[in-house]
């Protein structure tokens, strides 16, 4: 029997915490708000907190902010993709949703994504747009890989979607994230993962009327990659 049937959990919320410290507070509250919205509509949610080489303050903030019922997974990876993999391994829900330790969801994210996943269980779901705040301020539209705006060649050049996706947990198990190696100059694991899943025929689709809020900080890993001329990991067999 599938694990989620046994557990009765619809959505596993996987929050990855590293060293976000007090910035993790709004993240925890945001997760709670989205879970409450979903639970009020009859969905069963669990929260899995992956603390990957996390410091004490981040742990305290996240555990306090999320409150009761959180399941904590400790890891010593120092790698966001591997941390997500640990979360997926612990997840008991039919679907899983990732939240990075300093970002936020719109309150309706889990509910809207779940509803859409009922129609498109084959797809990986993203927010309609990301609102970037902090040291950069932009609004990024998430493009539908099945829609008229999608240019598959662009996915080779840059990333279309970030890692805070929603999909059946089985899909995350089928396509685990690879370890980052930014020193070699290859881009983030989520870019590679998006290429890999897209190449395998899995669509990436935005969920209408939802938003993710992405905090941008100077010196964050994202800034390091964009400055280093990062390119996507090749999917071709290596020589």
The residue from 156, 174, 179, 226 that contacts other proteins (CB under 8 A) is 156
Q: Is 35 in the site for other proteins (CB under 8 A)?
A: no
Angle in degrees, CA 70, 76, 81, rounded to 5:
80
Which residue, 106 or 197, is less far from other proteins as judged by CB?
A: 106
Bridge partner list, 168: 95
Contact pattern for other proteins over residues 182 through 211, marking x by CB under 8 A: --xxx---------------------xxxx
Which residue, 69 or 229, is less far from other proteins as judged by CB?
A: 229
Please enumerate in sequence order all residues whose Cβ is within 8 A of that of 109, keeping only pairs 6 or more positions apart, or say none: 34, 97, 127, 166, 207, 210, 211, 212
Q: Which residue has the tokens 């100059």?
A: 185
Q: Which residue has the tokens 């970002």?
A: 103
Binding region for other proteins (CB under 8 A) out of 68-76, 88-96, 127-135, 190-198: 127-135
The residue from 7, 128, 170, 220 that contacts other proteins (CB under 8 A) is 128
The residue from 151, 200, 221, 224 that contacts other proteins (CB under 8 A) is 151
CA distances from 134 to 7, 17, 137, 147 (A): 39, 19, 7, 30
Q: Is 180 in the site for other proteins (CB under 8 A)?
A: no
First and final CA of the chain: distance in angstroms? 41
**CB 214 to other proteins: min, Å:** 10
**CB 216 to other proteins: min, Å:** 10
**CB 156 to other proteins: min, Å:** 7
Binding region for other proteins (CB under 8 A) out of 7-15, 52-60, 136-144, 167-175: 136-144
Q: Is 29 in the site for other proteins (CB under 8 A)?
A: yes
| Neighbour-count burial of 111, counting CB atoms closer than 10 A to its CB (0-12 exposed, 13-18 middle, 19+ buried) | buried
Number of Cβ within 10 Å of residue 31's Cβ equals 27
What is the SS3 assignment for 230? coil
Q: Is 175 in the site for other proteins (CB under 8 A)?
A: no
The residue from 13, 14, 143, 195 that contacts other proteins (CB under 8 A) is 143
The alpha carbon of residue 44 and the mean position of all alpha carbons in its chain are separated, in whole angstroms, by 19
Q: Is 30 in the site for other proteins (CB under 8 A)?
A: yes
Q: Which residue has the tokens 């025929």?
A: 201
H-helix or E-strand spanning residue 182? none
**Interacting residues with other proteins (CB under 8 A):** 26, 29-30, 33, 104, 106-108, 128-129, 131-134, 137-141, 143-144, 147-149, 151, 153-154, 156-158, 160, 184-186, 208-211, 213, 215, 229, 231, 234, 236, 238-239
């Amino acid at each position: 029997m599938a694990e989620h049937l046994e557990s009765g959990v619809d959505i596993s919320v996987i929050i990855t915490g590293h060293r976000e410290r007090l910035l993790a507070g709004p993240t925890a509250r945001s997760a709670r708000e989205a879970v409450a919205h979903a639970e009020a509509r009859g969905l069963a949610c669990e929260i899995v907190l992956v603390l990957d080489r996390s410091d004490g303050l981040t742990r305290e903030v996240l555990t306090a902010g999320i409150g009761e019922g959180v399941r904590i997974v400790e890891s010593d990876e120092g790698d966001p993709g591997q941390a997500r993999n640990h979360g997926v391994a612990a997840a008991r829900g039919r679907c899983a949703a990732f939240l990075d330790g300093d970002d936020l969801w719109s309150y309706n994210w889990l509910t809207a994504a779940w509803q859409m996943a009922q129609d498109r269980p084959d797809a990986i779901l993203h927010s309609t747009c990301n609102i970037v705040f902090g040291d950069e301020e932009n609004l990024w539209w998430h493009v539908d890989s099945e829609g008229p705006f999608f240019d598959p060649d662009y996915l080779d050049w840059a990333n279309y979607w970030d890692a805070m996706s929603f999909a059946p947990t089985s899909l995350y198990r089928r396509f685990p994230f690879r370890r980052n190696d930014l020193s070699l100059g290859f881009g983030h694991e989520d870019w590679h993962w998006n290429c890999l899943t897209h190449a395998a025929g899995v669509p990436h689709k935005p969920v209408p009327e939802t938003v993710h809020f992405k905090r941008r900080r100077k010196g964050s890993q994202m800034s390091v990659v964009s400055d280093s001329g990062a390119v996507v990991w090749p999917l071709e067999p290596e020589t």
